[in-house]
Amino acid sequence: MNKLKASVSNEGKFPRIDANLSGGCGLAVNLSIIFDEPRRHDIILENKGVQIRIDHFTKRYLNEEIHIDYTDEQGFLLGEHFESGPCTIEMT
Amino acid sequence: MVEYNELIFEMSRQGRIGSSLPESDVDKVDLHDKLPAHLIRDMPAELPEVSELQLIRHYTALSNKNHGIDNGFYPLGSCTMKYNPKINEDVARFEGFSRIHPYQPVETVQGALKLLHELQEDLAEVTGMDAVTLQPSAGAQGEWTGLMMVKAYFEQKGEKRIKVLVPDSAHGTNPASATVAGFKTVTIPSNEDGLVDLAELKKHVGHDTAALMLTNPNTLGLFEKDIVDIAKVVHEAGGLLYYDGANANAILGKTTPGNMGFDIVHLNLHKTFTTPHGGGGPGAGPVGVKEKLIPYLPVPRIEKENDQYVLNSHHPLSIGRVKGYYGNFGILVRAYTYIRTMGPVGLRQVSESAVLHANYLRKKLEPYFESPYSQYCKHEFVLSGSRQKKLGVRTLDMAKRLLDFGYHPPTIYFPLNVEECMMIEPTETESKETMDAFAEAMIQIAKEVEENPDVVLEAPHTTIIGRLDEVQAARQPILRYSKEE
Ligand SMILES: Cc1ncc(COP(=O)(O)O)c(C=O)c1O
């Protein structure tokens, strides 16, 4: 959380949970934490004074609960639970 | 008209059957006397019980829901979804082609072998290669076949070369084929023009480089203009150049991979040469090679000895057989028919029109979508949905919305180096009117994103099944019908 707070609002960029698709043969959804500008109709979650943005599209790919962690080696981690490894949903 | 809305299992009525068999005159056998208990089912198979007419109507209605090139525009980039002329089908059904058997003595199938031999020669000419095998049955299998030849070639020379270089814009099958063939793949980043970064390439090329796999034009639809220098860098290091011919529709009759310096080529007959796209069905990925790789071609090879066509397996350095019999014969007949009906002038017109169409459509759409590369494209082009992303709408949403207009969406999220990518390939067989109508639909969607995004976010609206829950489908797929669930 402190790491998130520290990273907030440098140059009008805000933390966001973002789903990105990659295709080719089938589609995979990758979830990650990024810092960027607000998008229209963002949903804003607030936790311990930190606002996190999610766009309409990303919301589809998130469960009710989502955990965020930070380690120096791996940066921000995102998952339903961390044993599940990288947060990727394969859709083929 | 019967609409498809029920599963065939749900139409089932106990005891209803589609055929009447005579009373069995064979004595009943107790399965338990014949088979071990664990192999005998304890529940009857839940097979649907319907009449023949119900069955026909059900599957006909279902097939009418399918989108194919015969009923609509299909700008699926990298897949060259062009019209498959019906004359190909007629010729493939000639008795002399459809009623022969691979085990027949070669003297009795000389016509079929002649066709295959001529097709090999035609494809060698189109690609600028010295010999061709017709065996592989898909692009990916062609890649693997080519790489196995690369491996055999270096083994024969006593050189240990383990790396295959692949640009980041390459199709996923390139690194996959290299890995299956036992190589290590190294990704070469593209430069800001979407082309192979020559400096990066030089960093990675070395004595352990077996080959560079390249698609030209690449999957961004851009011609690798430095191809001669690229080839030189790889060849000077002792490596080979592999051409992924999936995009050959852009260069037919204009230039050849042989001219560009490539040593091995695969073609996708189901793209460039108008044979039907699989949908899991048969494809064909013939592979052409330069002289030095001929000894490694798969066997049996179709050769001409005096006036006879023969199947020759006596090539000791061959990588062996890569497919049952001689490839997907019926598909090869279709490609041969296409080449004969088009002729050299016709084939050149194909690439000219394919390139013109892509540039026409690109220019029409550029004001409405981000266009990451400004140079002229070849047979396809990419747009980015990054502008729409800021408005909370993604490329996937726009692709779903296109279904409402009756179009198959373009390829999306590929290549991976373009954000929110849409890859559009109109092909040479579409009319100006069709491309204009498609452009209008895309422009309308771009306006909807600005003014009325919900209509895009909730699309499709006109399909029998609306927006699917992809996450649930991925996480908890139900792949089998069962009455209980
Ligand atoms: C650039 C490229 N290379 C290779 C392939 C693989 O071909 P196939 O699907 O016939 O295995 C494709 C197919 O989509 C492709 O677009």
Residue with tokens 């099958």: B173
Task: From B317, B341, B365, give the residue that closes a domain.
Answer: B341
Same-domain status, B417 and B391: yes
**Residues B452-471: what's their mean pLDDT?**
90
Asked if B5 and B62 touch (Cβ cutoff 8 Å), the reply is no
Give the containing element (helix H, strand E) for B334. Answer: helix B329-365
* Residue B76 maps to a domain: no
- Tokens (6 digits) for B195: 């082309």
Please tell me whether residues B34 and B178 are part of one structural domain. no
Residue B391: its chain A contacts at CB < 8 A? 39-40
Name the residue ranges covered by the structural domains of chain A.
Answer: 2-90
**pLDDT higher than 90, residue B256:** yes
Q: Look at B474 and A25 and tell me if their CB atoms are within 8 Å.
A: no
* Cα B350 to middle of ligand 1, angstroms: 20
Overall fold of domain A2-90 = Hypothetical Protein Aq_1857; Chain: A; (2.60.300)
**Residue at B312 is within a domain:** yes
Q: What is the signed CA dihedral for B138, B144, B146, B148, rounded to 10 degrees?
A: -150
Q: Residue A88 above 60 pLDDT?
A: no
Beta carbons of A54 and A43 less than 8 angstroms apart: yes
B340 Cβ contact partners less than 8 Å away, ≥ 6 residues apart: none
Tell me how close the Cα of A36 comes to any Cα of chain B, in angstroms: 10
Same domain, B427 and B292: no
Q: What is the pLDDT of residue B280?
A: 54
Q: Are strands A75-79 and A67-71 parallel, antiparallel or unpaired?
A: antiparallel
* Domain-ending residue, one of B319, B341, B363: B341
- Closest ligand 1 atom to residue B78 Cα is 16
| B199 shares a domain with B171 | yes
Kindly state the tokens that stand for B133: 């095998």
The single-letter DSSP state of residue B182 is T
Our answer on whether the CB atom of B217 is closer than 6 Å to any ligand 1 atom is no
CA A80, CA B2: separation in Å to the nearest integer?
Answer: 44
Number of domains in chain B: 3
B182 plus B264 within the same structural domain:
yes
Q: Does B416 contact chain A (CB < 8 Å)? A: yes
Same domain, yes or no: B44 and B99: no
In a domain, B438, yes or no: yes
Interface test with B, best of A16, A40, A62 (most B CBs within 10 A): A40
User: CB–CB of A24 and B171 under 8 A?
Assistant: yes
pTM of the model: 0.89
Cβ neighbours of B95 (radius 10 Å): 7
B370 Cβ contact list (under 8 Å, min separation 6): B383, B384, B385, B386, B387
- Cβ(B268) – ligand 1 distance below 6 Å: yes
The H-or-E segment that residue B267 falls in is: strand B264-267
Which of A22, A40, A56 faces B413 most closely, judged by CB atoms?
A: A22
What pLDDT score was predicted for residue A83? 38
Can you give the CATH number for the domain in which B409 is found?
Answer: 3.90.1150.10
CB contact B389 to A (< 8 Å): yes
B454 touches chain A (CB under 8 A): no
Q: Is B244 in the pocket of ligand 1 (CB under 6 A)?
A: yes
Q: Which atom of ligand 1 is nearest to the CA of B244?
A: 3
Q: In terms of CA atoms, which chain A residue is nearest residue B450?
A: A40
Q: Return the residue of B nearest to A43 by Cα.
A: B392
Q: Which of B371, B439, B385 is nearest to B75 (CA)?
A: B439
On whether any CB of chain B is under 8 Å from the CB of A42, the answer is: yes
* HSE-up (13 A, CA, CB side) for residue A76: 19
Residue nearest to atom 10 of ligand 1 (CA): B139
User: Please, which pLDDT band fits residue B19 given cuts at 50, 70 and 90?
Assistant: confident
As given in the structure block, the two tokens for residue B111 are: 């016509």
What angle in degrees, to the nearest 10, is found between the helix axes of B173-180 and B139-157? 40
Q: B356 and B224 in one domain? A: no
pLDDT at A77: 67
Domain assignment of residue B42, yes or no = yes
pLDDT confidence of residue B143: 98
In B136-287, where does DSSP find H-type helix?
139-157, 173-180, 198-204, 227-236, 257-260, 269-272
Shared domain check, B336 and B373: no
Question: For atom 5 of ligand 1, which residue has the closest CA?
Answer: B139
Q: Are residues B18 and B105 in the same domain?
A: no
Q: Enter the ipTM.
A: 0.73
List, for residues B286-320, the tens digit of each pLDDT value.
999 999 999 999 999 999 999 999 999 999 999 99
A69-80: b or e for each residue (b if 16 or more CB lie within 10 Å)? eeeeeeebebbe
- Tokens linked to B472: 């649930």
- B392/A57 Cβ within 8 A: yes
Count Cβ–Cβ pairs < 8 Å, chain A vs chain B: 61
Dihedral sign computed on CA atoms, order B36, B38, B43, B49: negative
Residues of A in contact with B474 (CB under 8 A): 89-91
Cα B259 to Cα B117, B231, B265, B354, distances in angstroms: 23, 11, 12, 21
Q: Is A89 on the interface with B (CB under 8 A)?
A: yes
- Type of residue at A9: S
d(CA B475, CA B468): 13
One domain, residues B270 and B309: yes
Span B125-139, pLDDT tens digits: 999 999 999 999 999
pLDDT band at A74, cuts 50/70/90? low
Query: Do B271 and B373 fall within a single domain?
Result: no
Boundary (domain end) residue, out of B341, B367, B383: B341
Mean pLDDT of B460-477: 84
- Whether B140 is in the pocket of ligand 1, judged by its Cβ within 6 Å, is yes
Distance from the CA of B396 to the center of ligand 1, in angstroms?
A: 21
Q: B366 lies in a domain?
A: yes
What is the distance between the alpha carbons of residues B380 and B360, in angstroms, rounded to a whole number?
10
Please say whether the dihedral angle defined by the alpha carbons of residues B218, B222, B226 and B227, taken in this order, is positive or negative: positive
pLDDT of residue B3: 61
Is any atom of ligand 1 closer than 6 Å to the C-beta of B249? no
User: Is B360 within 8 Å of chain A by CB?
Assistant: no
Residues B293 and B419 in one domain: no
Domain boundaries, position B414: 350-470
- DSSP letter at B281? S
Q: Check CB contact under 8 Å for B412 and A21.
A: yes
**CB neighbours of B446 closer than 8 A, spacing ≥ 6?**
B368, B369, B388
pLDDT tens digits, A4-56: 666 665 567 888 888 888 876 667 788 888 888 888 888 888 877 888 888 88
Task: Give the length of chain B.
Answer: 485
> Is A40 close to B392, i.e. CB distance below 8 A?
yes
Strands A88-91 and B184-188: unpaired
pLDDT category at A87 given cuts 50, 70, 90 is very low
